[in-house]
Amino acid sequence: FYPAVDSRLDRPSVRRFGARHLLTAAMLEWFWSTFCPTPRLRQEATLLKPEILEFLPPLAVVAAGCDPLLDEGYELCRLVNTTPAAKAAFGPPSGDDPSRATHLVVPGALHGFLSAGELTRASADGLRLGLSWLQSVLFRAGHYKTDRA
């Protein structure tokens, strides 16, 4: 859910939503500088690299539509779906879904919407999106049965 995977903070969603929303660009910079205080640590912590992507399992990114991290989720999914090493590690597509990464957006939601619990519809929508994706992956892999007998 709404991953922070790139320390550069130069994506359009940071500029668009990083000023007057719950999570700001200044807060993102503070997190990165606090937890990864050197350029080397920031580069190591950035997940958008082929040598890391090839080890990721199939994934769903559930994102808030008004989140500075929105574009990082899009980019993560795009790279997982197009990087040859990542595609080879996952093997051939199963069923009619050729993608290994899916980006699911809850329109109008702010970063952290899941923590609102039952207070917002966005929280329920986000959980429903993520759980539906997981159910479909498990079903295609034969680990989830719809008949409960």
- Residue 4 CB: number of other CB atoms within 10 A? 19
Q: What is the DSSP letter of 142?
A: T
pLDDT score recorded for residue 114: 79
Find the distance separating the first CA and the last CA of the chain, reported in whole Å: 33
User: Residue 132: is its pLDDT beyond 50?
Assistant: yes
> pLDDT tens-digit profile of 64-106?
999 999 999 999 999 888 877 655 555 544 444 556 888 989 8
Q: Are 13 and 69 in contact (CB under 8 A)?
A: yes
> pLDDT tens-digit profile of 45-56?
998 888 888 777
- Residue 26 CB: number of other CB atoms within 10 A? 10
Q: With cut-offs at 50, 70 and 90, classify the pLDDT of residue 59.
A: confident
Q: What is the DSSP letter of 97?
A: B
Tokens 């080890």, residue?
55
